[in-house]
Chains A and B, each alone.
Chain A
Amino acid sequence: MKILGVDSSGMVASIALIEDGITKAEYTVNNKKTHSQTLLPMLDEISKMLGEDMSDVDAIAVAAGPGSFTGLRIGSATVKGLANALDKPIVPVSTVEGLAYNMWGSDRVICPLMDARRSQVYTGLFEFFEEDDRCVMNTMLEACAVPIEDILEKVNEIDRSVVFLGDGVPVFKETIRNKCKVPYVFAPAFANRQRASAVAALGEIYLEKGMTESAAEHAPVYLRLSQAERERREKEQDE
């Protein structure tokens, strides 16, 4: 099984190729340059380095949201073009699930935090349990956009030790320190941001379950309306 993974949902741009349980290449960049300038050159670089043109991948896994609207669309448009040209299925992977999968094997509750602005985070809650010779990720709370306080309240209710990761951690560190009542840790540099290898590895599992989309069907899951739609709905509700 050969899966190309793509994640441009936040500040990180990441591309990975995994094959038969091994990461053959991963290229991750975390800087301010727009993904439009980095993502495809990164894929091109990986392709040249491996001497592979990606035409024999089984599927293309993409971090399909939530996240930065523009970032998601760059990733989405990129995988749609690839999937169309190569005639391959797309496997959408929830961005927060992909992020949580970085913590594979942890006994703690996994709480990815992506800064969603307006004092909110894109988050979810996950845990791992053993099955045969590997760990399986279980979703305790589906991906959602909520105020940081709400997710911390949930974490406190579950009353287990927790690991936080994602670009929301530096933004909300003080709030976490003040409001988190359970033992917690923060993930280290190699695993605390989006990684396309995690997206590809989860993508492989979803592919086996048949959770694929065609290039035409695929679109990001924003979890939020556009500002104009939100304001229009609020206005309608007021009337």
Chain B
Amino acid sequence: MSDILILAIESSCDETAASVIKNGREVLSNVISSQIDLHTLYGGVVPEIASRKHIEKIDQVVNRAVSEANVTMDDITAIAVTYGPGLVGALLVGVSYAKSLAWALKKPLVGVHHIEGHICANYIENKELEPPFMCLVVSGGHSHLVKVVDYGEYEILGRTRDDAAGEAFDKVARAIGLGYPGGPKIDKVSYEGDPCAIEFPRAKVADNEYDFSFSGLKSAVLNYLNSMEMKGQSYVQADVAASFQQAVVDVLVGHSMTALCEYGFDRFAIAGGVASNTHLRKAFEDECAKRGITFYRPSPIFCTDNAAMIGVAGYYEYIKGVRSGWDLNAVPNLKLGER
């Protein structure tokens, strides 16, 4: 059987990315053009600026992915593209480009769910991993606890009711003067702080024990900062960061361990940008080890947005026979497991 090569394109937020994936799990190239410096000026991603940058970069990024993979456009079996969820203007650049490229090259097109991509990032470095397993997806826009039933088949056990975990990191980082992007900055400064210095709430959601809520925690941090200011006292930035982060980690780990126990899974994976947080990774390593659960986590480069993960997800959709039409549209609020 000849090799299946997927050219994948991702532009759902602020990275323009393209990748070539061989037979579903081998990364031949993984090109990422990040706009982070541009958005740092504004303290967060500006959708219109992100879209403008995507259109400037997409052609170069795609061509580099193909050339770094040492293949030609003709060798490509199918083209996969993220069509949601994400910023609609940003998604449309990748979707429109991928469609016309596939049309002109006479290649099949496969629309891919961004979160499904994050989950599939775990397949890249763990060749033995196959469904079923449980996965926690945590990023700037998403917090999902998911049962991966089969390739392309998911059951969502819990999701955030308000802010995504990564969003809370960004907001708290801004409030304590760390700036954007919040995740890596809080991760780093927390090593100098005491995670037990301040007792922030670990929120439970009444009607679904697996749902998350991070807005209360964010408010608690802001209230703490305010009260310190009112009292004319200074706060220790590293302590606030570490205590906040510990509260997030406790909730994520707590929910995941309860679910693993209840559903009897012995394999657990994390995915998404927040999954590159070193404290979270350590906490999961320890807790999984205690329970004899095999723990999977992608390398940080496959946690943050990339196209390799889209290529992996696209491969499994492709071999299942999924094909997208030329009318494929960007769907900013696309739900996991829906088409």
Q: Which residues of A contact B (CB under 8 A)?
A: 34, 36-41, 43-44, 53-55, 69-70, 73-74, 76-82, 84-86, 215-216, 218-220, 222, 226-229, 232
Contact = CB atoms under 8 A, between A and B. Distances in A.
A229 B46 CA distance: 9
B103 interface: yes
Question: Which label, helix, strand, loop or mixed, suits the secondary structure of the B interface?
Answer: helix
B93 interface: yes
8 closest pairs, A vs B, by CB?
A: A81-B100, A85-B104, A77-B96, A226-B48, A81-B101, A40-B326, A77-B97, A228-B46
Given A40-B99, A44-B103, A226 B59 contact: no
B128 interface: no
Interface residues of B, number: 39
B60 A40 contact: no
20 contacts: A34-B329, A36-B328, A36-B330, A37-B327, A40-B103, A41-B327, A43-B100, A73-B52, A76-B55, A77-B96, A78-B97, A80-B97, A81-B101, A82-B101, A84-B63, A85-B73, A215-B59, A219-B55, A219-B56, A220-B55
B49 A228 contact: yes
B100 A216 contact: no
B59 A41 contact: no
Contact of A73 (B73, B92, B98): B92
A80 B52 CA distance: 14
Nearest to A231: B42
Given A216-B63, A232-B41, A73 B104 contact: no
Contacts of B86: none
Nearest to B46: A228
A77 B91 CA distance: 11
A43 B62 contact: no
Contacts of A44: 103, 326
A221 to B, nearest CB: 11
Given A36-B95, A37-B329, A216 B55 contact: no
B60 A216 contact: yes
Most buried by B among A39, A78, A218: A78
Contacts of A53: 104, 106
Given A73-B55, A81-B98, 5 more contacts: A73-B89, A74-B96, A81-B96, A84-B63, A215-B59
B58 interface: yes
B280 to A, nearest CB: 31
B78 to A, nearest CB: 14
A74 to B, nearest CB: 5
Contacts of A43: 100, 103, 326
A110 to B, nearest CB: 29
Contacts of A37: 327, 329
A219 B58 CA distance: 10
